[in-house]
Amino acid sequence: MKIAFHGAAQGVTGSCHLLDCGGKRILVDCGMYQGGRELVEDNANDFGFDPASVDYLLLTHAHLDHCGRIPLLTNRGFRGEIITTAASRELARLVMMDSAGLQEEEARYRNRRARRRGRAEEFQPLYTTLDTFNAMENFGRKARHGQPLQLAPGIRATFFDAGHILGSASILLELEEDGDTRRVVFSGDLGLGGRPILRDPVMPPQADVVVMETTYGDRPHKELQPSVEELYDAINATVKRGGNVVIPTFALERAQEILYYLHAGKEQGILPEFLQVFLDSPMAISATEIFKRHPECYDAQTADLFRTGQDPFLFRGLHFTRETAESMAINQVAGGAVIMAGSGMCTGGRVRHHLKHNLGREHSSVIFVGYAAQGTLARRIVDGARSVDIFGEEYAVRAQIYTIGGFSAHAGQAELLAWHGHTGNPEVTFLVHGERDSMAAFGSMLRNTRVEMPQLHQEFSL
């Protein structure tokens, strides 16, 4: 038995781990590298293995950094079975289609620019919409939490709740080779207990080998309740001044979580009755519809809401604006509106139009509820720029800027430690999906296990 790490090795994106057992090859996740432009090449690089040789792909969840290279894998010969939960399958299709669309757009833009400069370069997208359709053909059985699936003689996989995003899972693999058995647990990305909408993460079973994420391996997560109150305060203060609130929004999970709190705030009379909320993101709207189709993922509280005829993603004053014309009409609203639009880091999408209209108004505000990577427009605003460039024009920043950090969908150090504790005394723990410092800090706290922080493409015998 062997395991090799072909992504998220000493970094937080590109998850891709390959197991060899009894002549079968099992890939866990096939994610995209995300960040600056230089990563385009990382994504196009060789996988480090032959895609045609892979028999099964188990997908932990539908974030781009876990599913984003699946169409490329299919393009390069993968014909195995992709297994994931029903919710993850739907979300993965949405995420891969969106990614393909963005890449096609980027390639068209680059080619136009190259032609204008008299160069004959031909930029190809990493994959196209059509490639994504082809990749969807490889999705096979649907995994249900807690129910083992037989992949091949001597190979069983059991998905269990990771509490991170809709459909997310950790995975236990029970492997047998020449009378030798190994229990290997992959954490996937782990969420936090006590959050709304989704069920809490399930603690893992005992294992011989653990592969776990370490995004926040070196710090505690922020408390949620103060963040919710901060959100309400910021909205109320802005409405009082007569301005609008712009919330750059991540389409998956974060958008639905914020809708949930806006709904609750209105119900409890914390937010004004007349407040208008626009979800101005076709992708976030589609994701919200997928949420509604998967009550099997809800926690008891959210399930109860739906059972009594309430819908936390629907309330008076909420508008879903899919069409561009509807989106542009929002600009006529002078005050009293919350505008949620993508992208979360303001690198593209409709949010840039809303920033253009509201950044210069001191009555308005922009609320950042997610991570803003270095080099993005979101980061420049968060860091206090007096003016920013949008579509080649300079706009003064006079609006109030808020950064609220408690809405993260990742477990903090204490939760990661508790999770690892349930695996017993594993022979070896592989740390992945974390920056080096975070990984090292977390690794130094683990007892009764050998800790490895694999290099890209490094292989280990199990």
Where on the chain is the footprint of Zn ion (CB under 5 A)? 63, 189
Q: Read out DSSP for 243-308?
A: --EEEE--TTTHHHHHHHHHHHHHHTTSS-TT-EEEE--HHHHHHHHHHHT-GGGB-HHHHHHHHT
Closer to Zn ion by CB, 263 or 410: give it: 410
Nearest 5°: phi and psi at 312? -65, -15
Q: How far apart are CA 221 and CA 150, in angstroms?
A: 36
β-pair type (24-28, 17-21): antiparallel
Nearest 5°: phi and psi at 441? -60, -45
* E runs forming strands in 193-244: 209-213
Closer to Zn ion by CB, 174 or 189: give it: 189
Which residue, 402, 412, 363, is CA-closest to 228? 402
Which residue, 206, 217, 165, is CA-closest to 59? 165
Closer to Zn ion by CB, 60 or 358: give it: 60
The strand pairing partners of 277, in sequence order, are 318, 338
- The conformation of residue 355, written as its DSSP 8-state character, comes to H
Nearest distance from C-beta of residue 104 to Zn ion, angstroms: 24
Closer to Zn ion by CB, 24 or 63: give it: 63
Closer to Zn ion by CB, 88 or 423: give it: 88
The strand pairing partners of 279, in sequence order, are 320, 340
Tokens, residue 157: 């996989």
Closer to Zn ion by CB, 19 or 190: give it: 190
Closer to Zn ion by CB, 18 or 62: give it: 62
Nearest distance from C-beta of residue 175 to Zn ion, angstroms: 25
Closer to Zn ion by CB, 66 or 361: give it: 66
Closer to Zn ion by CB, 20 or 189: give it: 189
Nearest distance from C-beta of residue 208 to Zn ion, angstroms: 25
Radius of gyration for the chain, computed over Cα atoms and rounded to the nearest angstrom: 22
Closer to Zn ion by CB, 320 or 371: give it: 371
Nearest distance from C-beta of residue 168 to Zn ion, angstroms: 7
The strand pairing partners of 367, in sequence order, are 402
Nearest distance from C-beta of residue 138 to Zn ion, angstroms: 21
Nearest distance from C-beta of residue 144 to Zn ion, angstroms: 20
Q: How far apart are CA 289 and CA 441, in angstroms?
A: 39
Show Cβ contacts of residue 277 under 8 Å, excluding neighbours closer than 6 positions.
Answer: 259, 262, 315, 317, 318, 319, 337, 338, 340
Nearest distance from C-beta of residue 414 to Zn ion, angstroms: 19
Nearest distance from C-beta of residue 399 to Zn ion, angstroms: 30
CB atoms inside a 10 Å sphere around CB 54: 22
Nearest distance from C-beta of residue 458 to Zn ion, angstroms: 23
Residues 14-47 as b/e (b if ≥16 CB within 10 A, e otherwise) read bbbbbbbbeebbbbbbbbbbbbeeeeeebbeeeb
Coil, strand or helix: which one is 327? helix
Nearest distance from C-beta of residue 1 to Zn ion, angstroms: 27
Nearest distance from C-beta of residue 461 to Zn ion, angstroms: 29
Which residue, 248, 252, 243, 306, is CA-closest to 276? 243
Closer to Zn ion by CB, 251 or 330: give it: 251
